[in-house]
Amino acid sequence: MRNIFILKNNFKFKKYNLNEVDESVFSTEYDDSSWKNVSVPHDWGIEGDFSEDNDATYSMIVQDGMTKPEKQTGRTGGLPIVGEGVYRTWFQIDDVEKAFLEFDGIMRESVIYINGKKVGGCHFGYLSFEVDITNYVKKGTNLLAVHAIVYPDSSRWYSGGGLYRNVRLITKPSSYIKYNGVWVRQIYVDEKSALFDITIDYEGTTGFTAKITDPNGTVTELSSNDNKASYFIDNPILWDVNKPNLYTAQITIDSGDSITTRFGVRKTEFTKDGFFLNDRYLKMNGVCLHHDTGSIGAAINRSALLRQLQIMKEMGVNALRTSHNPPATELLDLCDELGILVIDEFFDEWRNKKVENGYSKNFNDHALKDVESIVCRDRNHPSVIMWSIGNEIGEQWQEDGWKVARMFADKTKEIDPTRPITAGLDWYPHCFDNRIAFYVDVVGLNYKPHLYKEVKEKYPNILLYGSETASCISTRGVYKLPAKIDISLSKNDDLTISDYGLCAPPWAYFPERELSNQKDNPNVMGEFIWTGFDYLGEPTPYYSEWPSRSSYFGVVDLAGLPKNRYYLYKSAWTDTPTLHIFPHWNWKGVEGQTVPVHIYTNYDKVELFINGISQGIRTHKIDGNDDISHVERFRLMWNDTKYEPGEICAVAYKNGKEMERKTIYTAGEPYAIELSKYYNEINADGESLNYITAKIVDKNGNLCPNACSLLTFSANGTVEVYATDAGDQRETEAFLRPDKKSLSGMLVCCVRNNGKQGKATVSCSGNGLLSSSVDFECI
């Protein structure tokens, strides 16, 4: 029988500078009693203080238009990821035939020791891998030691460090199913039937049984005398973005070793006319996401990921690109459950390096084997619809760059011929001229909406989508006047970017340009916004200006609070009635001056009032192909409105009938704290998180949009305060603390269950403000 033990608690950890680790720390005799106690998953970087010296580099990022190396202070988040970390934990082994360790990911390079002996390791932090420890363990107590190393200049964003994904001890019989050894492969599907092949890779005896449970709970059993069996389904229950129905297959071989996996029945078609899911035309409304989850860093946490994906799905997202490396399995599990399509991406570098110690170091020795490992791990997930072999790779400029693309495409299709190959290509026409684009099945173009029509006319049979789009930059709730389109690297002294949503770097653009071109080119399969959430590191355009240390690209900020353009996408991508008005109406000192008012809506028309006086009616315009025309197609603008304290009111109409109205008031002095919770209940498992949002309001309950107050959280009962974050890209106070200054009147506290069931209470206080508390259950 197979037994799985998640190694989570009782780890000892110590962080070292590079080249400081002594081999004695891996010995069973070593005294680690003074080391820090941690639980895994664990990210050593997120626990530290911010500093511009933590991973400052002099880099030339060609994609950002740099022509010479420049100092990069916040490129990897300004957190102490560089160095070496050692983890030690003791575990028990009974009489077993085989014993293995599974690591879902160790950042960045790792070596594994059992009882002082080196047993394996990995060169690539995003890769999952298995180590056979059978010959190194003994009955009773055994020592696992993990040595993780993060070199400077090894990433273009915050990577985290250490055992940031899950670790499992697995014992098996001598005849066993190998690591990632079950493949439920879809052969054929239509509305009446489906056919799957179930293939098992195992060691030892032959033959297996499969117990298949459909989404309604109906069970089918089948068996095979070798390593393969066919599974035929009458009237299959399809997996779809709106109905993510999942089947379960429990595979058992003759020795009793058993594995359970999920799969889905769905039909995907990539055609020159667009993408079709289950014979239905579907635009991919996608986002790119890095692997960190804000204030908790890179350490994987299911409840944090679920919150991210639910916020995205509410915005209208139906697709995700794992930028720019393979994700945690938990993310794919959630996409399976929520109905989110996934482009599973392999690498950010091939042979040509972008950073000094990036994946190019590992390419020659490991690339093809790594592709096999990634595909074999993820190919049962119905959410995964394409494999991306690379992002903005330098080989687009090389005459023979197509050879690497062909090598990856051939290898990927050898392992999984059921899904198309893609890549995120940003150098046009070079990627076509050197033929890289012809060695992928579906071409992803980064930041080229103005070229969609040209590419489709020149290559009428090409399959095309926007693999990375927009890169609009902003700071939530912060506004700069005048409100104008700014496609440059212009900067502000306070290191913020206006939340009017009209700013982008020179290679990018405001989001309406992409939305407009997507509508005008239905044969383009969709877009993947850069990015759904802000992420740690890459604080474009403030490469060298400290303390800027996290991205401005997100539609949602690092704390999980939506920026204005969240409602742009919601109005364009969903049928949910949307009426969002901005900016705030607290502009002391600019009375009588122009403060433009903009609205995102999917209603027919909107009338704006300032203190009861109509400012006119606006409707969406669809004529023209210049920048202003793109903007007016998706947002309503009153660009000549004058500020006077009071209120602004938007009244929305459909078919001539008033449907909704929203009012923003000039807020008074900060008076109280108002709390809200994200989850009504969380699991009492010692790791689940909840997110509590604090708003600073006046006596009438209006948000105080300019409030920057120090707030302090406390918790009792079944949770503890874990981290705080306001989504401010400039904040240098550590995340893992109970107090922080608000940004634009808001702050988010992340609380973690302490392993107990029952009521949890979270309170928040601030100097001169009425405090508040909120309750929820841990079950």
Task: State the catalytic residues.
Answer: 392, 468
Please tell me the distance from the alpha carbon of residue 169 to that of residue 367, in angstroms, as a whole number.
Answer: 27
Burial class of residue 726, CB neighbours in 10 A (0-12, 13-18, 19+): buried
- Beta strand 83-93 with 140-150 is antiparallel
User: Which amino acid makes up residue 368?
Assistant: L
Phi and psi, residue 51, nearest 5°? -155, 140
DSSP percent split of the chain into helix, strand, coil, nearest 5: 15, 40, 45
d(C-alpha 662, C-alpha 398), whole Å: 55
| Distances in whole angstroms, Cα of residue 741 to Cα of each of 559, 564, 695, 731, 737 | 13, 21, 12, 9, 12
Contact 296, 735 (CB under 8 A): yes
Strand ranges (E), 65-192: 70-72, 83-93, 98-103, 109-114, 117-122, 129-132, 140-150, 167-172, 176-189
Residues 6+ apart with CB under 8 A from 31: none
d(CA 287, CA 469): 9
Burial-class residue 465 by CB neighbours within 10 Å (0-12, 13-18, 19+). Answer: buried
Please count the residues of the chain. 779
- What burial class does residue 629 get, using C-beta atoms within 10 Å of its C-beta: 0-12 exposed, 13-18 middle, 19+ buried? middle
Residue pair 524/270 in contact (Cβ under 8 Å)? The answer is no
